Structure 1
Amino acid sequence: MTGVALAGRRADWAGRAAAAWAALYGTVALVWTVTGSGYPFGPGDGERETSMLRGMPASVGAPLFAAVLLATAVTALATTGRPAVRGAARTGILAFGWTVVAALLVVVPDVRLLTRAGYAPMVILGAPFGWPPVDYSEIITWPVANMAVCVLGGLLLARALLVWQFRGAGLCERCGRGKLAPQWTTPEGAARWGRWAAYLAAGVPALYAVSRFGWAAAVLFGLSDAHREEFGGDAVVWAGAGLGAFALAGAVLTLGLVQRWGEVYPRWMIGFAGRPVPVKLAVVPATIVAVFVTSASLGLASAGAFAKLAGDSALLVAPMALWPAWGPALAAATLAYYLRRRPECPACAPAATAPATPAPTAH
């Protein structure tokens, strides 16, 4: 089997996985429809304030999920073959597929996924010491679990659609390279526009970190009682400090997308110094955070949360008003990092990966 054919078969894994996911989750949605129970969103969701699906009842949402997901399964299966369809049919398949991706990644989830990710370091590090005293059943709720499942499905479907698009455009179906690829996808082009995206994506969480450190300090020194009752006494100080530290770490790691130490481990990292940083180690978490931030900002905007900029919570909310720029900027910076560092693949360089043909011997 040639390197190109092997790469094509490997590239189809996302289409098969997305089809299996959509078929299974669509079947679950059919169960919601038939039984009238289990639908995780809408009025039955107890924490639906920032959910864009908060007004969609089960009688509408469950059959809608079932119909869209089962249609998505068929669409995903279609992406595993050669792009035989052309013209309006191809455009319609791509339009439907990318609409579903957008819904799964930024409409279905809300701010809860981001807040869980923000508090995760504190929960993980404090677990051996019994702090913070949390009820995990209140953290990983049924709606939150379904949001995570939808994000997973959206990422799988996005990969499947990209492979199919690359295939139809005459590009490498595994990585998107080719003579017809636009200039902005080259390492040089990505380095130019990716730098500004990374600076913006790092600046927003840095401002957020400053606001959370200030919030924690104000409560610690008795200058404010904001959210003290929500967190239980002085736990608000640790919450503010933890969120600030997480955001600041995220800002620093974002700068790594355009710094040398984001490509090669620095000398102080014993055991790793001088080795290249795996591309996926940066791309995967940054992509997930970009999705979480974008969905959170849309949910907050739909709930009118940014209207508090003129109220008592203005200092806490103001940095969050920049989140609509943070998510897309982080996604762009992550894409630029990938375009600069993506490795060679068998489909792009089949000659380099094919076994050498032995020269004929003279008799």
Structure 2
Amino acid sequence: MSGSGSRTAAARAAVGAVWSSVTSACWRHWPTWAGWAAGGFSLLYGLLGLYWTAGGDGFPFAPVDPARASGSILEGSRVEVVAPIIAVLGLVGAVVAWLMTRRARPGRRSAAALMVFGWAAAIGLTVIVPDYTLIILVAFAPLLLVFAFTGVPGDQGGIGDILYWHRTNLIIVFVGGLLWATATLAYRRRARGACASCGRRHEEGGGPSRQTLLRWGRWAVAVACLAPLPYEITRIAWYLGHPLGVTPDFLRMMQDTPGMLEVGLGCALASALGGVLTHGLVARWGETYPRWIWFKAGRRVPPTLAIVPASIVAVTIIPAGLMFLWTSEARGTWAMYVPSLFWTVWGVALGVATIAYHLRRRGACRHCGQGPQPGPEPRTSLDQRQVRDDPVSAPGQRA
């Protein structure tokens, strides 16, 4: 029995090691495969556009029952109008992505044309077409994982009643936009003769100083923490029984709907907690573990531990905010409409703060070797490290 358990543990360790090496290799070589992935996505949707144009089933923006509709800007569009556009843009995108994978240095005009198409595709697919589905998926991912095994409580029949095709398509479209963003970024770097992985060029300097990046980050963090306050205040007020920004009848409707106010309160508290964590992008404890994390105190915080979750929230909250610009149903009361518009500001500010944090923390590039080489693990006291690494905010160092 113990031998079987040992073999199982060894097999799991081997699978974990293989998976780790594969994901690490994919991450290191993203400039190589991003263009092909974006081209494959565009080709797939180009062919689907032809299929829908010819009368095929499954057009993901067709009018459906309101309970199954999404909040996309294309929701309810006519297949005979939008499907041919999807086909043309998809097939053209496949050609553009293929041209981006070529190693030859392009001319200035041709490179500019390819980048305009690439950035337009990235912005359209990530922030214009999607709705609030992505941020809901991020916020309730643990519950959805549980529901996949236990079933969805209430009248809904299962996960299919939550992630139906109109919503699932928006998730796929969003991922396609991210592929286009990475492909265009890598192409832009190659076109200007920079390292495709880090964007540095040998003839350029080190870029903005740490103090400049820290100053930009602080302004961005301040905006990112203030933008969701209207949402948090109104949802907490509703839970406490105050009809702030809504009519008393609307508040009673929410009180009579099981779980509605609780979900709003949970989202408000999660947003407030996210604001606290956002400060880590400019605070000392965002770079060095504080004393109260005793088993890590004094060690460097891995940059990805902050960059990955902050980036996910930033890119998923923006389309949720933009959705309310063309959703007239939510404009009856200001508390249902105005606070959500600030989500776009929140996402942009969080994105700027995350980029500043990344540029401040990044070390030498594995591909071109440019950038500061990592030093030994710091062993000085936290106060000494603050003066060394953050002279702008260290005690006694303010102007």
TM-score category of the 2 structures, normalised to the smaller one: 0.7 to 0.9
Contact 1:79/1:164 (<8 A) preserved = yes
**Aligned with residue 214 of structure 1, among 227, 230, 237:** 237
Change (3 A) 1:215 1:68: same
Change (3 A) 1:113 1:227: farther
Q: 1:4 is matched with which residue?
A: none
Contact 1:219/1:226 (<8 A) preserved = no
Contact 2:235/2:261 (<8 A) preserved = no
Distance 2:371 2:113 in 1: 36
**Per-residue deviation, 1:281:** 3.1
Contact 1:106/1:294 (<8 A) preserved = yes
Equivalent position SS for 1:218: coil
Q: 1:192 is matched with which residue?
A: 215
Structure 2 unmatched runs, 5+? 1-26, 374-399
**Per-residue deviation, 1:234:** 4.2
Mean Cα displacement is larger for which, 293-302 or 223-232?
223-232
Q: TM-score, normalised by structure 2?
A: 0.74
Contact 1:197/1:333 (<8 A) preserved = yes
Change (3 A) 1:115 1:237: same
**Aligned with residue 333 of structure 1, among 353, 358, 374:** 353
- The one-letter code matched in structure 1 to 2:36 is R
CA deviation vs aligned residue, 1:75-122 (integer Å, no higher than 9, x gap): 222222325221221111111111111110111101233334334456
Equivalent position SS for 1:302: coil
CA deviation vs aligned residue, 1:259-294 (integer Å, no higher than 9, x gap): 222223334346544443333332233223222222
- The one-letter code matched in structure 1 to 2:217 is G
Change (3 A) 1:289 1:203: same
Q: 1:113 is matched with which residue?
A: 134
**Per-residue deviation, 1:43:** 2.7
**Aligned with residue 25 of structure 1, among 32, 35, 45:** 45
Change (3 A) 1:328 1:183: farther
- The one-letter code matched in structure 2 to 1:96 is F
Q: 2:311 is matched with which residue?
A: 287
Change (3 A) 1:175 1:228: farther
Distance 2:63 2:209 in 1: 47
Contact 2:228/2:342 (<8 A) preserved = no
Q: 2:196 is matched with which residue?
A: 173
- The one-letter code matched in structure 1 to 2:119 is W
Mean Cα displacement is larger for which, 39-48 or 194-203?
39-48
The 5 Å alignment of 1:255-334 reads 255-269=279-293, 271-304=295-328, 307-308=331-332, 313-334=333-354
Change (3 A) 1:274 1:184: same
Q: 2:91 is matched with which residue?
A: 70
Which of the pair has the greater relative contact order for Cα pairs under 8 Å at 6+ separation? Answer: 1
Is 1:249–2:273 an aligned residue pair? yes
Contact 1:212/1:316 (<8 A) preserved = no
**Per-residue deviation, 1:185:** 5.0
Q: 2:111 is matched with which residue?
A: 90
**Aligned with residue 145 of structure 1, among 168, 186, 189:** 168
Q: Percent identity, aligned pairs only?
A: 36
Equivalent position SS for 1:40: coil
Change (3 A) 1:241 1:352: closer
Q: TM-score, normalised by structure 1?
A: 0.80
Q: 1:203 is matched with which residue?
A: 226
Is 1:233–2:257 an aligned residue pair? yes
CA deviation vs aligned residue, 1:242-266 (integer Å, no higher than 9, x gap): 1112211222222221122222333
Q: State the Cα RMSD in Å.
A: 3.4
Q: How many residues align?
A: 341
**Per-residue deviation, 1:158:** 0.9
Mean Cα displacement is larger for which, 278-287 or 334-343?
278-287
Contact 2:206/2:371 (<8 A) preserved = no
- The one-letter code matched in structure 1 to 2:232 is A
Q: 1:160 is matched with which residue?
A: 183
Distance 1:44 1:33 in 2: 18
Is 1:15–2:5 an aligned residue pair? no
